[in-house]
Structure 1
Amino acid sequence: MPSAPQRPGRARTRVSASLRARLYGTVVTLTDLLPPRVRYGYVHPTTAKLLRRPLAAIPRDSPVAQGSSTKTRAASDMTAVTCALLTDHLDIGGIGSVIEMLAGALAAHGVTPVILCRGEGRRAARLRDAGVRVESVSTMAEALAALDAVSPDVVELHSAPRYLEEAALTSGIPLVVALHNTEIHYTRAKWRTVQELMTHAQASIAVSDVVRRFHADRVPPEAAAKIVVVPNGAPPLDLAALPTREAARARLSTAIGVPVDDDVVFVCLARYDSQKNIAGTTASFLRYLAHAERPSRLVFAGDPSDWAELRRAEALRDEHPQGDRIHFLGNSDASTLLRAADGFLLNSFFEGWPVAATEAVSAGVPIILSEMGGAAELVRTAAPGSSMIPNPSGDAAAVSDAAVRRARRSSRTQPNAQEFARAAVALAQIPPRGTRAGDELPDTADVMAAEHAAILRAARGGIEPEGAASA
């Protein structure tokens, strides 16, 4: 798709953007050299204070709230189980979405969820409004007191802070450990903690086989034998209540400030974070535009956890003649964006099982995923035009902190940029379909909750979950 001639003012703007891209690239490179605890505990909060600004967004207006399930069933034939879900801040990353889905669907399978987390926020308030007990605790003593008050039959850990892990171990309550990602940032000390937790636990739940194998290679054999794979799910959409494609695209046009008309719209629903490769995806999409046969746009939407990454991506966009084809939104209504989209992109360095991609598959949107946890499984069940491309850091089996650092330093020319462009060209040829009222959509959130419930029930009874040894 050829670009229009550039005016002198635009040329000066592009020079300024190029300088900004170099500046933020230097910030990113220097930050990547620091230990993870310094990056996430000090640098990111500091850059957030310096670089934060409002982002346009599409307000949440989903007909089915995130995490809720439309299915109900009698649980009278099941023995009631109370499970304490222990996790970090609920508004950070995809784990909060998984917790919310479980909280909304476990009751149908005879499990009453109670959440112990760090801090308050939007999701905690939403869960309380839905009748779920949520306790915010900030110390081990508070956590033990909360566990004593709740008296759960079993505890399920979801990447919880250390004081909640210690409380779970000290309490003596049967334990299940959820494994959400290929944790390339873990130190040796952290792996010792993981080994202790998984050895003590009745079972561990990995969200994908990639995550299972990653952890099995790093923990004792007796702990590896107890890992069961349960993929993340996504709540079903009420198709009759969704906006039409035209209405969704009108809302998107308002949010980005330009009409999308008949453009091919790709969406990337992800927080702005180094893991998600936002800058590299921006550069690769700009390369695709040079080969695109139809006018196309890319819309990112998510919460910024790394403002330097977002600012670098913006600068890479602004220095390009066709940069006005890429848009950055804040956390927005996923249903509207997926309804408006022709394709979904996620070009991450590593994932456990991406929840947003699961939502895209459920919505009937073709997907392009880099090779990561859950990618092969999701692409197999996705709409025509979907594909898995190589990992942007190179060999997916060898993803490491060092490999990601190298790939981030060369965001403009990542190893999979050519495959990215080819996949986008192919997807853009697929006529838009999306979901329609009357379509049968799987309730994968309910399937996920049913499998968690079975494992929790077995853990309470001291039984090894079915399939653990052969997973």
Structure 2
Amino acid sequence: MSAVDGVAFMPPNPHPPPGRTDLRCGLVADHLDVGGIGRVIEMLTEGLRSAGIEPVVVCPRDGERSARLRALGYEVIVAPDARSAGVALESAGLDVVELHSAPAHLVGAVLGSDVPVLPVLHNTEIHYARLQWRATAALFGRAEAVIAVSEIVRRFHLERLPATPHDKIVVVPNGAMTMPQADASARSRAREHLASVLGARLTKSAVFVSLVRYDSQKNVAGTVASFLEAADSCHVPVHLVVAGEPSDWLEYCRADALRRRHPRADRVHLLGNSDAATLLAAADAFLLNSFFEGWPLATTEAVAAGLPIVVSDSGGAAELVARAPEGSMLIGNATGPAGSVSDRSARAARRRAARQRNRPELAAAVSAVATAVAQAATGGPGGPADDSYGVMVDGHARLLRAVGRTRSTVIAPSKQHSA
């Protein structure tokens, strides 16, 4: 689904020009167009320059997001292998590097340099084996500090690496920009556009959006099955729109099979990559039923857009519900206690997608939110002003300055090259 004019996430100080900064920071990550981490990199790139820190993005290949950042005047270095990564980091003149779930060849190049390192932990890595935890321990030993995006992620890593000093891992939650220009007229256009794309009548309906990749972590099949139970019982017509990258076609096919065999199949819509801001502007509520998360960026953006949320217990979920509009709900995790999620428990929950343990709770929460939406005196999303983007940028900037080698210089206009 494409964008609608007047609906976009925007930083408070859009795209400041290069100016006087005292630090060059490498934001080193994997491919930027897959998952929420790429969006975090994009937001930090725009925010850090306003904080007096010049960002330099380093990733293994180009894509839409890297091209967009270059067009805005930010430096992006593409390093597809170990040799190019080493050359790029040596010539970039970096004072500090943040590592955001970067591929091994970029991590190796960073650790082979003398640049201070600040790893950023984005998830509870339930898939890690002993060798990967050994590498993570070595990375923590090299780092002056570590950022975790939620308290659950912090505790998860401390429990598995007990030799790590507890004060070494600092929680800086992910934030989200707001949509300052998305007035009632823009939201109405977004709703009409969504109805046209779906070929559905959405008047007097409560539309829930779930912005997720189709993969086993996000539990799309289980979400669809549980939502359809709500569609059966709720007196308000409810629709679920799932949109994201089909990184696991099996998960998409399982979700679609559950949808197709249900009498209310027309209430669930499975889309590919879509404009997040437009979907959130068109929606009445947000739904996320993942098995595990670090701090879900799409949910953060939904809160920033003023939507009530229904989220399963995972990293950042309780904190997001606490600052979301009234009526938002935290439901149990489909695997059991959120702090005990494992590969085994996630596989078991995935096998019973049609009858997961939190299905009645999710259906009841969807019905309650839909009823509240229908009864609301005003038609648009609401809630307290969201400052999570500024808090995120300030948290990263503070730690980057503490860890990095400060140098006062005037940064020249951004270069555009690949290593």
Structure 2 counterpart of 1:444, which letter?
S
User: What does the per-residue CA deviation read over 1:80-120, in whole Å, with 9 as the maximum and x for residues that have no partner?
Assistant: 10001111000111100100000011011111000110111
The answer to whether residue 362 in structure 2 is matched with residue 420 in structure 1 is yes
Q: 2:389 aligns with which of 433, 445, 457?
A: 445
Q: The residue matched to 2:389 in structure 1 has which SS?
A: helix
1:241 Cα shift?
6.0
The answer to whether residue 58 in structure 2 is matched with residue 112 in structure 1 is no
User: What does the per-residue CA deviation read over 1:406-455, in whole Å, with 9 as the maximum and x for residues that have no partner?
Assistant: 0000000001001001111110121264347xx97334222211110110
Q: The residue matched to 1:260 in structure 2 has which SS?
A: coil
> Is the Cα contact below 8 Å between 1:75 and 1:109 reproduced in 2?
no
The answer to whether residue 194 in structure 2 is matched with residue 252 in structure 1 is yes
2:400 counterpart residue number: 456
User: What does the per-residue CA deviation read over 1:268-308, in whole Å, with 9 as the maximum and x for residues that have no partner?
Assistant: 01111111100000000111112111111111111111111
> Is the Cα contact below 8 Å between 2:206 and 2:284 reproduced in 1?
yes
The answer to whether residue 280 in structure 2 is matched with residue 338 in structure 1 is yes
1:65 Cα shift?
5.4
Q: 1:400 aligns with which of 331, 342, 349?
A: 342
Structure 2 counterpart of 1:60, which letter?
A
Q: 1:356 aligns with which of 298, 307, 314?
A: 298
1:11 counterpart residue number: none
1:246 Cα shift?
2.5
Q: 1:248 and 1:283 mapped to 2: Cα distance?
A: 27
Residues 387 and 207 of structure 1, relative CA distance in 2, 3 Å threshold: same
Q: The residue matched to 1:182 in structure 2 has which SS?
A: coil
The answer to whether residue 317 in structure 2 is matched with residue 375 in structure 1 is yes
Q: 2:169 and 2:215 mapped to 1: Cα distance?
A: 28
Q: 1:62 and 1:185 mapped to 2: Cα distance?
A: 41
Q: 1:440 and 1:230 mapped to 2: Cα distance?
A: 20
The answer to whether residue 140 in structure 2 is matched with residue 198 in structure 1 is yes
Structure 1 counterpart of 2:179, which letter?
L
1:271 counterpart residue number: 213
Structure 1 counterpart of 2:339, which letter?
A
Q: 1:434 aligns with which of 380, 400, 410?
A: 380
> Is the Cα contact below 8 Å between 2:118 and 2:144 reproduced in 1?
yes
The answer to whether residue 102 in structure 2 is matched with residue 102 in structure 1 is no
1:243 Cα shift?
4.6
The answer to whether residue 77 in structure 2 is matched with residue 135 in structure 1 is yes
Residues 157 and 244 of structure 1, relative CA distance in 2, 3 Å threshold: same
Q: Provide TM-score, normalisation by structure 2.
A: 0.91
User: What does the per-residue CA deviation read over 1:381-401, in whole Å, with 9 as the maximum and x for residues that have no partner?
Assistant: 111210000001112121001
Structure 2 counterpart of 1:118, which letter?
P
**Structure 2 residues without counterparts, runs of 5 or longer:** 407-419
1:73 Cα shift?
11
2:330 counterpart residue number: 388
> Is the Cα contact below 8 Å between 1:302 and 1:331 reproduced in 2?
yes
Q: 1:166 and 1:367 mapped to 2: Cα distance?
A: 39
Structure 2 counterpart of 1:308, which letter?
L
Q: 2:269 and 2:14 mapped to 1: Cα distance?
A: 39
Q: 1:136 and 1:226 mapped to 2: Cα distance?
A: 30
Q: 2:35 aligns with which of 78, 93, 104?
A: 93
Q: 2:227 and 2:182 mapped to 1: Cα distance?
A: 33
> Is the Cα contact below 8 Å between 2:29 and 2:99 reproduced in 1?
yes
Structure 2 counterpart of 1:138, which letter?
P
Residues 119 and 78 of structure 1, relative CA distance in 2, 3 Å threshold: closer
**Aligned sequence identity (%):** 49
**Structure 1 residues without counterparts, runs of 5 or longer:** 1-57, 463-471
Q: The residue matched to 1:379 in structure 2 has which SS?
A: helix
> Is the Cα contact below 8 Å between 2:7 and 2:186 reproduced in 1?
no
Structure 1 counterpart of 2:194, which letter?
L
1:217 counterpart residue number: 159
Q: 1:74 and 1:119 mapped to 2: Cα distance?
A: 25
Q: Please give the residue correspondences for 1:144-183 in structure 2 after superposition, counting only pairs within 5 Å.
A: 144-183=86-125
Structure 1 counterpart of 2:398, which letter?
A
1:219 Cα shift?
1.7
1:370 Cα shift?
0.1
Structure 1 counterpart of 2:137, which letter?
Q
> Is the Cα contact below 8 Å between 2:179 and 2:305 reproduced in 1?
yes
Q: 2:252 aligns with which of 310, 317, 321?
A: 310
Q: The residue matched to 1:138 in structure 2 has which SS?
A: coil
Residues 121 and 141 of structure 1, relative CA distance in 2, 3 Å threshold: same
The answer to whether residue 262 in structure 2 is matched with residue 320 in structure 1 is yes
User: What does the per-residue CA deviation read over 1:174-207, in whole Å, with 9 as the maximum and x for residues that have no partner?
Assistant: 0000000001111111111111111110110000
Residues 331 and 442 of structure 1, relative CA distance in 2, 3 Å threshold: same
Structure 1 counterpart of 2:361, which letter?
E
RMSD of aligned Cα (Å):
2.2
Count of aligned pairs? 402
More displaced 10-residue stretch of structure 1: 370-379 or 241-250: 241-250
1:71 Cα shift?
2.7
Residues 182 and 280 of structure 1, relative CA distance in 2, 3 Å threshold: same
Q: 2:169 aligns with which of 227, 232, 244?
A: 227
